[in-house]
Structure 1
Amino acid sequence: MDSFLKIREVSAKYDITSRTLRYYEDMGLISSVRSDEYAYRMYDEAAMKRLEQILILRKLNISIRDIQSIFSASGSSVVLEVLSKKVEHIDDEVALLHELKEIVLAFIHQIEQMDFSSDSDVRLIYDKAKDIESRLTHVDYIGKPSNMNRLLEVTELLEKKPDVRLVALPACRMVTSGVKTGENHERFEAMWTSLDDKRIDRFYPRDFMFHDQESGSPVWYYAIEDWVTEADTEGFAIIGFEGGLYATSIVHDFDVNEVMKVYNGIKEWLAQHDNLTYDERPGHPVMFHVTRPDTYGLLGYRQVEYFFPVKPIYCSLE
């Protein structure tokens, strides 16, 4: 097994999470092997080359579904088609920017001719400004990339800021998987799935996952109803969840790059609000929840909602 890399080694080499690797494998994009001597996933040179291809395509904002199509096709026709559509999208953005430029220049000319003491002129300026605002997109720059690095920079600048909502999770009892991984998580998933089938209310979300900072391992939470006892949790501990405020946003495809964009986007969102700050207290980890198990079949990607704990600075929760 000397020519193989462990999952942690791959994560460190390419600066991606082990969960992202497992997701790519679940989607059939890469494959791993396991030996009788080593129970964890191992990746060979072919898997590494495939992973590098995936990471380049994701940097170009190519969807997981399109990447699947590219890898399942023989020849280069599909990848050329996908990239051609990307070029068409960029052309649309360029055309929109030119149009907006003309609108703004015309707006500037109109302002130069207007009388700010006139109510009708001020109203016209306001209506025109609202029209421009409704057509603007979050685009900072579009140029003709001369190399791959510049192309990646442009695609990053074209990214929209995440939509963020503020939600309050109630205090409740949770059953936790603990920091053990592997078969322990599979057993935990089977346990909470069984509880989920029996629960009375149908409110979502109920299950969350986060990464324990000390162990570096994933931990799974599941909110339980009052009737659930320790006898029902098959040895998994029941804890008290404090609840609190969370800033949330949706990530597509469970991709670490998308996660970091959302993480940084929420930090920027928090910086714009004087009454809120990141809640770093123990017991308030950044959590995520797969919104529905069938979103991939419905949408072509998985919807993952990230929950970032926040707290008020100047006002009370009550």
Structure 2
Amino acid sequence: MPDLLKIKEVSSRYDVTARTLRYYEDMGLINSQRSDDYAYRMYDESSIKRLEQVLILRKLNISIKDIQRIFRSSSSEIVLEVLGKKVSDIDDEVALLHELKKIVLEFIMQIHRSDFQKDSDVKLLYEKAKEVERQIINVGYEGNPARVNSLLNITEKLKKAPEVRIVEIPKCRMASSGYFNDLSEVIGSFGKWFSEYDKKRKGISFSPLDFMFFEPDGRGMWLFAVEDWVTEKDTDGYEIIEFEGGLYANAVSIDGDDDINGRVYTGIKAWIDSSGFELDEREGHRAMCHMIVGEKMNRGLGYKQLDIFVPVKLRPVKE
């Protein structure tokens, strides 16, 4: 192993995106180094070992918050506590799923005994379906709403793929941050500029207006749609590019959790494979994300939503 590995090499070796590596670093889980003559992040042996620990814990579905607690502790007590709690959670989930399975099997038996041609049986099944819904809500309730939420979370996680829709983003002019190696390079300056521009905007007929994408080598770009009257004199010197637009497969994820974002992205691609579309990713035309901003939404949900847009095109019709 060389003394230092480039971010692209680490990304390829461990099958983790450059964005995820940056996220782990922002969360204080790993460290990187920079040299005066090289702009990209580099990782030494100790950082690689720490990354391996992070990846193992994430495979066990340990939260970023708990991983931070583990790394802040010098003893094994915290990791044993976290893993013990995980075992307990799994036991609860298994028990709830067994109960859910029992309820569903009872409903299946009821369907087998019924005749969909008879009005009386259809009515009976409707009443039974309402009973199943009541049972699911009350599974393991015992005065503890957290157990209901746990069951709902489990059934949500069992979904095979995210809810995907196809949207069309029109061809338009976009102000570009230019390529950056680290979001901190532009988040203050470019973000401040388009916040000021947004106050002057006269109206664009589509939303959202800003997007971010990353190339495989880790370079990112932030884009903001601008109106025809805007010139580079109005953008504080940021380049205006012609955005080609097109069709995108879109689903909602959680901002700040790149593990979930990766799963949503993978789920979208799996959906594309079984649809009438095909992936249309290429240089400068990558999957994009948009953070959905709203204080009330964030407070109500407990997290920030992230829209993920994956470029697609119609699959050629075979003769």
Under TM normalisation by the shorter chain, which class is it? 0.7 to 0.9
Query: Matches of 1:183 and 1:17 in 2, distance apart?
Result: 14
Identity of aligned residues (%): 53
Query: Matches of 1:134 and 1:219 in 2, distance apart?
Result: 49
Q: Which aligned pairs between 1:28-39 and structure 2 lie closer than 5 A? A: 28-39=28-39
Provide the secondary structure at the position in 2 that maps to 1:231.
Answer: coil
Query: Matches of 1:78 and 1:300 in 2, distance apart?
Result: 25
Asked if 1:205 corresponds to 2:208, the answer is: yes
Q: What amino acid does structure 2 have at the position aligned with 1:53?
A: Q
Q: In the alignment, which residue of structure 2 is the partner of 1:143?
A: none
Q: In the alignment, which residue of structure 2 is the partner of 1:190?
A: 189
The CA RMSD over aligned residues, in Å, is 3.9
Closer, same or farther in 2 for the Cα pair 1:281/1:78, shift >3 Å?
A: closer
Query: Matches of 1:21 and 1:69 in 2, distance apart?
Result: 19
C-alpha displacement of 1:25: 0.9
Q: 2:309 aligns with which of 298, 302, 307?
A: 307
Query: Matches of 2:294 and 2:64 in 1, distance apart?
Result: 17
Q: Which aligned pairs between 1:12-51 and structure 2 lie closer than 5 A? A: 12-51=12-51
Closer, same or farther in 2 for the Cα pair 1:244/1:192, shift >3 Å?
A: same
Range that drifts further, 180-189 or 243-252: 180-189
The answer to whether the 8 A contact 1:209-1:219 is kept is yes
Q: Which aligned pairs between 1:288-307 and structure 2 lie closer than 5 A? A: 288-292=289-293, 303-307=305-309
C-alpha displacement of 1:182: 3.7
Closer, same or farther in 2 for the Cα pair 1:199/1:97, shift >3 Å?
A: closer
C-alpha displacement of 1:28: 1.0
Q: Deviations over 1:231-253 (max 9, x none)?
A: 13344331233444433223346
Q: What amino acid does structure 2 have at the position aligned with 1:206?
A: L
Provide the secondary structure at the position in 1 that maps to 2:174.
Answer: strand
Query: Matches of 2:94 and 2:271 in 1, distance apart?
Result: 27
Q: What amino acid does structure 1 have at the position aligned with 2:180?
A: T
Alignment TM-score, normalising by the size of structure 1: 0.72
Q: In the alignment, which residue of structure 2 is the partner of 1:237?
A: 239
Query: Matches of 1:191 and 1:216 in 2, distance apart?
Result: 19
Unaligned regions of 5+ residues in structure 2, if any?
A: 137-153
Query: Matches of 1:208 and 1:68 in 2, distance apart?
Result: 29
Q: What amino acid does structure 1 have at the position aligned with 2:266?
A: N
Q: What amino acid does structure 1 have at the position aligned with 2:104?
A: V
Unaligned regions of 5+ residues in structure 1, if any?
A: 137-154, 314-318
Closer, same or farther in 2 for the Cα pair 1:184/1:117, shift >3 Å?
A: closer
Q: What amino acid does structure 2 have at the position aligned with 1:207?
A: D
Alignment TM-score, normalising by the size of structure 2: 0.72
Q: In the alignment, which residue of structure 2 is the partner of 1:173?
A: 173
Provide the secondary structure at the position in 1 that maps to 2:29.
Answer: coil
The answer to whether the 8 A contact 2:54-2:67 is kept is yes
Matched residue count: 289
Q: What amino acid does structure 1 have at the position aligned with 2:286?
A: P
Q: Which aligned pairs between 1:64-213 and structure 2 lie closer than 5 A? A: 64-129=64-129, 132=132, 160=159, 161-178=161-178, 180-182=179-181, 186-187=185-186, 190-200=189-199, 205-212=208-215
Query: Matches of 1:181 and 1:80 in 2, distance apart?
Result: 40
Query: Matches of 2:294 and 2:19 in 1, distance apart?
Result: 16
Range that drifts further, 101-110 or 44-53: 101-110
